[in-house]
């Protein structure tokens, strides 16, 4: 093996090794399970070193470097079909690898504190390492099938981790639901691969991109749509998004890592990777944008009505992912990847912050139990919280920073990435052959931006500002605020790092026109765009500078007004009154939001229940009565056989066996002689 290949292999091999060491030792050596320090260090190292190696590859690359391909061995070969276990280091995959291992490492570190009291500690870290391994296959695979291996691999890890506390049936239900909804998307992905292979004879990215002309127009549209359906499964978009809110049943670090920062962005990565094909099918691009925008606003309206701190964040994630698809559909592939990155920072920070809060609330519950008070409450329900900023300053500050960032407040990371998305959306309405619908989608996008700022500050204010509400809700909990405490450093350090990234991450993609306005020269301050320009087939920008400034100011205005409205309505312990006010104002609409648009009920009522019922009451009966019935009827007419064999069944078996063996030997003897 060449030294570069060997070095690269560390990125893939170490997380796998971490999984095997902790997983197998933990499974078979019971005493190992309590060596939490060791387990944690092994798992953290297995992610941290790949991060360093990926960083090394990153600094040795520039925007024009060709892709480095490391082939390990041939995976599958049959007839004309051949696919390798081969990895591809290019500008896009190295960016994703840095996010996955970087944010992944911080969440591993955080988990050492968060999971420290769990008896499944070893298993948790084994799964987490396995997830990183699968995710790296997804982003680094040099062909669609290896990407698919990672794609399904992360799905299994997600399944295992959502159902981590499997003794709770609701949690294992959520895990199963996630896997099955993902499988529906994977089905579409499979068909897309068959079509590509049939057209170009390979699933290798380079071969596909070099032979796009060999794919017929109709096939391109079909492939584009099918891959997008695959993406709606993994990245939780309408119509397959319903699994993601339920997935919050998993431990909070899992929500941060898998269900916010990395796995759920796989669909965006896929379409961005396939961007040379997507730009050839504008009709599919429009559908992607439509679904993205629709998902963004649907999820944002649901988020307003939720009281579970993780549910708000979950719907917020669905909504932000919708934003990313809007960007993809508008030809802003780089903008989408930009938002993948900034979202990874601030959403991971928010989830980990919520974990810190939940941790504290659980501590209160345990503290009360120790005092002999039998108090039970939902530690994730923000109606019991309030005033936490006094007790958890680091958690509060980092959570607030991330909230400001996601709201699109000027100069923080979310501001730049969101503005880029909105600019591309408007732009797509004006490019040659662009549809006016994109302008309508820009309106949806800007409304969502307003809602985002509003519900995120509703969450932050209700949780951290005002007074601690548990004692006023439950009498026995009087004075329970003494149990509130800040989380240990393993949890707060990752929070601070992520908060810093949430502030400054946006400076990798500052729009060029800002500098151009002041210098009058063509500028190159959008580093991310320059980094990815060889890979992403972005639409060209046709909007004038003045127009772009207007759009920028518009997004500042909605973000600030969302924040101000939330400040008025939720800053001082008026959450329930304000919620009621909104409910009154919007009436039936609010109920629809609160009921999550009834997606789950519709699916259950129209698909899963009828399918089970049909299988149970019709097919299974049909199988016994009709299919088997015909067989029995035929057999019945030839009863002779039946009675004969029933007769032979009594008797000493070994005699029969012996007779048969002798018979066989005689026949064989005759033949051989």
Partner 1 sequence: METLLNITIFLPLLGIPLVTLIKGDTAKKWIALLITSATFLISLPLMFNFDIVNSGLAQYITEGAPISSSLDIKYLVGLDGLSLLLFMLTTFMGPIVILSSWDSVSKHLSAYLSMLLLLQTASLGVFASLDLIVFYVFFELSLIPMYFLIGIWGGSDRIRATIKFFIYTLVGSLIMLVGLIYVGYDAGMSMNGFSFTTDWRFLSSDAYKIGLVQQTYLFVAFALAFCIKVPLFPFHTWLPYAHTEAPTAGSVVLAAIMLKMGTYGLIRVCLPLFPNAFMEFAPYMATLAVIGIIYGALVAMVQKDVKKLVAYSSVSHLGFVVLGIFALNTVAVQGAIIQMINHGLSTGALFLIVGMIYDRRHTRMIKDFGGIAKQLPVFTVMFMIATLASIGLPGLNGFIGEFLILNGSFFSELYNNKVYAILAATGVILAAVYMLWMFQRVMFGPLEKEENKKLLDLNAREIGLLVPLMIFMFWIGIHPVNFTKYSENQVTELIIASKEKSMAVLEQAKTEELPDWTAEFYGLNKDQQENEFLTASE
Q: Kindly identify the residues of this chain, within the stretch 176-205, that bind partner 1 according to CB under 8 A.
A: 176, 179-180, 183-184, 186-187, 190-191, 193-195, 197-198
Is the Cβ of residue 25 or residue 448 nearer to partner 1 in the bound state?
25
Q: How far is the CB of 638 from partner 1 (least distance, A)?
A: 8
Which listed residue (173, 308, 530, 573) binds partner 1 by CB under 8 A? Answer: 173
| C-beta separation of 174 from 247 below 8 A | yes
Q: How far is the CB of 673 from partner 1 (least distance, A)?
A: 7
* Peptide bond just before 289 cis, omega within 30 deg: no
Q: How far is the CB of 128 from partner 1 (least distance, A)?
A: 17
Is the Cβ of residue 61 or residue 156 nearer to partner 1 in the bound state?
156
Which listed residue (56, 489, 549, 660) binds partner 1 by CB under 8 A? Answer: 660
Q: How far is the CB of 641 from partner 1 (least distance, A)?
A: 5
Site residues for partner 1, 230-259, by CB under 8 A, read none
Stretch that binds partner 1, among 92-100, 459-467, 484-492, 626-634 (CB under 8 A): 626-634
Question: What angle do helix axes 169-200 and 144-162 make, rounded to 10 degrees?
Answer: 180
Q: How far is the CB of 458 from partner 1 (least distance, A)?
A: 35
Q: How far is the CB of 248 from partner 1 (least distance, A)?
A: 18
> What is the separation of C-alpha 39 from the centre of its chain, rounded to a whole number of angstroms?
26
Is the Cβ of residue 549 or residue 614 nearer to partner 1 in the bound state?
614
Q: How far apart are CA 433 and CA 623, in angstroms?
A: 55
> What is the separation of C-alpha 645 from the centre of its chain, rounded to a whole number of angstroms?
59
> What is the separation of C-alpha 514 from the centre of its chain, rounded to a whole number of angstroms?
33
Site residues for partner 1, 56-115, by CB under 8 A, read 73-81, 85
Q: How far apart are CA 100 and CA 413, in angstroms?
A: 18
Which residues on neighbouring strands pair with residue 347, listed in sequence order?
A: none
Q: How far is the CB of 112 from partner 1 (least distance, A)?
A: 22
Q: How far is the CB of 661 from partner 1 (least distance, A)?
A: 6
Q: How far is the CB of 170 from partner 1 (least distance, A)?
A: 10
Q: How far apart are CA 556 and CA 549, in angstroms?
A: 11
Site residues for partner 1, 20-59, by CB under 8 A, read 27-28
Stretch that binds partner 1, among 240-248, 344-352, 468-476, 641-649 (CB under 8 A): 641-649
Q: Per residue in 529-550, is it b (16+ CB within 10 Å) or e — as a string?
A: bbbbeebbbbbebebeeeebee
Q: How far apart are CA 170 and CA 172, in angstroms?
A: 6
Is the Cβ of residue 119 or residue 390 nearer to partner 1 in the bound state?
119
Is the Cβ of residue 602 or residue 668 nearer to partner 1 in the bound state?
668
Q: How far is the CB of 542 from partner 1 (least distance, A)?
A: 39
Q: How far is the CB of 122 from partner 1 (least distance, A)?
A: 11
Site residues for partner 1, 290-349, by CB under 8 A, read none
Which listed residue (3, 62, 584, 654) binds partner 1 by CB under 8 A? Answer: 654
Which residues on neighbouring strands pair with residue 603, listed in sequence order?
A: none
Q: How far apart are CA 282 and CA 288, in angstroms?
A: 10
Stretch that binds partner 1, among 278-286, 405-413, 529-537, 664-672 (CB under 8 A): 664-672
**331 Cβ partners below 8 Å, 6+ apart?**
279, 285, 424, 427, 428, 431, 537, 538, 539
Stretch that binds partner 1, among 295-303, 419-427, 459-467, 634-642 (CB under 8 A): 634-642
Site residues for partner 1, 116-145, by CB under 8 A, read 145
Q: How far apart are CA 517 and CA 510, in angstroms?
A: 13
Stretch that binds partner 1, among 247-255, 287-295, 355-363, 653-661 (CB under 8 A): 653-661
Q: How far apart are CA 358 and CA 401, in angstroms?
A: 19
Site residues for partner 1, 590-619, by CB under 8 A, read 611-612, 614-616, 619
Which listed residue (60, 485, 642, 666) binds partner 1 by CB under 8 A? Answer: 642
Which among 238, 602, 180 has a CA at the least distance from the CA of 610? 602
| C-beta separation of 532 from 95 below 8 A | yes
Supply φ then ψ for residue 76, to 5 degrees. Answer: -125, 140
The structure tokens 């291992």 sit at 101
Q: How far apart are CA 491 and CA 353, in angstroms?
A: 9
Q: How far is the CB of 646 from partner 1 (least distance, A)?
A: 7
Q: Kindly state the number of chain residues that form the binding site for partner 1, as judged by CB under 8 A.
A: 73
Q: Per residue in 178-191, is it b (16+ CB within 10 Å) or e — as a string?
A: bbebbebbbebbeb
Which listed residue (436, 518, 645, 647) binds partner 1 by CB under 8 A? Answer: 645
Site residues for partner 1, 355-394, by CB under 8 A, read none
Backbone conformation region of residue 618, classed left if phi is above 0, alpha if psi is from -120 to 50, else beta: alpha
Stretch that binds partner 1, among 267-275, 358-366, 569-577, 624-632 (CB under 8 A): 624-632
Backbone conformation region of residue 238, classed left if phi is above 0, alpha if psi is from -120 to 50, else beta: beta
Is the Cβ of residue 148 or residue 278 nearer to partner 1 in the bound state?
148
Site residues for partner 1, 413-442, by CB under 8 A, read none
Q: How far is the CB of 81 from partner 1 (least distance, A)?
A: 5
Q: How far is the CB of 163 from partner 1 (least distance, A)?
A: 7
Site residues for partner 1, 140-169, by CB under 8 A, read 145, 148-149, 152-153, 156, 159, 163, 166-169
549 interacts with partner 1 by CB under 8 A:
no
- Beta-strand ranges (E) seen in 527-665 are none
Is the Cβ of residue 59 or residue 672 nearer to partner 1 in the bound state?
672
Question: What angle do helix axes 489-504 and 333-370 make, rounded to 10 degrees?
Answer: 150
Which listed residue (443, 581, 656, 666) binds partner 1 by CB under 8 A? Answer: 656
Q: How far apart are CA 630 and CA 638, in angstroms?
A: 13
Q: How far apart are CA 301 and CA 304, in angstroms?
A: 5
| C-beta separation of 151 from 127 below 8 A | no
Is the Cβ of residue 589 or residue 658 nearer to partner 1 in the bound state?
658
Q: What's the 3-state SS for 196-214?
A: HHHHHCCCEHHHHHHCHHH
Q: How far apart are CA 390 and CA 583, in angstroms?
A: 31
Is the Cβ of residue 112 or residue 193 nearer to partner 1 in the bound state?
193
Residue 466 three-state SS:
coil
Q: How far is the CB of 2 from partner 1 (least distance, A)?
A: 21
Q: How far is the CB of 551 from partner 1 (least distance, A)?
A: 42
Is the Cβ of residue 124 or residue 148 nearer to partner 1 in the bound state?
148
Q: How far is the CB of 634 from partner 1 (least distance, A)?
A: 9
CA distances from 140 to 98, 135, 442, 465 (A): 11, 8, 33, 43
Is the Cβ of residue 576 or residue 604 nearer to partner 1 in the bound state?
604
Residue 76 three-state SS:
strand
Is the Cβ of residue 6 or residue 76 nearer to partner 1 in the bound state?
76
Q: How far apart are CA 123 and CA 502, in angstroms?
A: 30
């Amino acid at each position: 093996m060449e030294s570069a290949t060997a070095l690269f292999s560390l990125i893939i091999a170490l997380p796998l090794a971490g999984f095997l060491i902790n997983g197998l030792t933990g499974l078979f050596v019971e005493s190992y399970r309590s060596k939490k320090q060791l387990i944690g260090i092994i798992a953290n190292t297995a992610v941290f070193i790949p991060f360093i190696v990926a960083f090394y590859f990153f600094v040795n690359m520039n925007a024009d470097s060709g892709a480095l391909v490391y082939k390990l061995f041939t995976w599958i070969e049959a007839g004309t079909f051949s696919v390798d276990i081969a990895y591809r280091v290019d500008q896009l995959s190295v960016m994703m690898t840095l996010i996955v291992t970087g944010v992944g490492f911080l969440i591993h570190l955080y988990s050492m504190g968060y999971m420290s009291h769990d008896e499944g500690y070893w298993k948790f870290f084994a799964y987490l390492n396995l997830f990183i391994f699968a995710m790296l296959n997804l982003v680094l695979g040099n062909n669609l099938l290896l990407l698919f291996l990672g794609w399904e691999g992360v799905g299994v890890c997600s399944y295992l981790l959502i159902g981590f506390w499997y003794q709770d049936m609701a949690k294992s239900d959520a895990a199963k639901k996630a896997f099955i909804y993902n499988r529906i998307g994977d089905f579409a992905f499979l068909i897309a691969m068959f079509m590509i292979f049939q057209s170009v004879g390979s699933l290798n990215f380079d071969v596909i991109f070099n032979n796009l002309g060999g794919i017929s127009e109709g096939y391109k549209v079909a492939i584009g749509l099918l891959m997008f359906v695959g993406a709606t499964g993994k990245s939780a978009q309408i119509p397959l998004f319903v699994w993601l809110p339920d997935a919050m049943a998993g431990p909070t670090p899992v929500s941060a890592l898998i269900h916010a920062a990395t796995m759920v962005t796989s669909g965006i990565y896929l379409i961005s990777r396939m961007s040379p094909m997507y730009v050839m099918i504008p009709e599919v691009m429009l559908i992607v944008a439509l679904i993205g925008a629709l998902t963004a606003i649907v999820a944002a309206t649901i988020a307003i009505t939720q009281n579970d701190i993780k549910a708000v964040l979950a719907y917020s994630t669905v909504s932000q992912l919708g934003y990313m698809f809007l960007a993809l559909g508008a030809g802003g592939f780089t903008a989408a990847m930009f938002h993948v990155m900034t979202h990874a920072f601030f959403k991971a920070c928010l989830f980990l912050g919520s974990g810190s809060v939940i941790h504290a609330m659980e501590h209160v519950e345990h503290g009360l139990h120790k005092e002999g008070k039998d108090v039970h409450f939902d530690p994730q329900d923000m109606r019991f919280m309030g005033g936490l900023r006094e007790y958890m300053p680091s958690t509060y500050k980092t959570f607030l920073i991330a909230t400001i960032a996601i709201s699109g407040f000027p100069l923080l990371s979310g501001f730049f990435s969101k503005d880029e998305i909105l600019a591309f959306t408007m732009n797509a309405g004006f490019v040659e052959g662009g549809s006016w619908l994109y302008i309508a989608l820009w309106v949806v996008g800007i409304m969502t931006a307003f809602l985002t700022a509003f519900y995120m500050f509703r969450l932050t204010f209700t949780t951290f500002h005002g007074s601690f509400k548990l004692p006023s809700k439950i009498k026995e909990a009087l004075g329970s605020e003494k149990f509130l405490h800040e989380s240990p450093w393993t949890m707060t350090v990752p929070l601070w790092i992520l908060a810093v990234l949430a502030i400054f991450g946006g400076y990798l993609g500052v729009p060029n026109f800002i500098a151009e306005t002041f210098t009058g020269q063509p500028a190159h301050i959008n580093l991310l765009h320059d980094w990815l320009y060889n890979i992403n087939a972005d639409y060209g920008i046709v909007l004038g500078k003045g127009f772009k400034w207007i759009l920028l100011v518009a997004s500042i205005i909605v973000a600030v007004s969302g924040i101000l409205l939330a400040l008025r309505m939720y800053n001082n312990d008026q959450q329930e009154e304000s919620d009621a006010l909104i409910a009154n104002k919007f009436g039936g609409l609010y109920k629809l939001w609160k009921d999550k648009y009834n997606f789950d009920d519709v699916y259950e009522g129209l698909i899963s229940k009828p399918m089970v019922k049909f299988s149970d009451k019709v097919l299974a009966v049909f199988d016994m009565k009709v299919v088997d019935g015909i067989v029995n009827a035929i057999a019945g007419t030839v009863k002779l056989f039946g009675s004969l064999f029933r007769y032979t069944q009594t008797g000493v078996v070994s005699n029969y066996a012996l007779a048969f063996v002798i018979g066989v030997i005689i026949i064989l003897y005759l033949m051989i002689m």
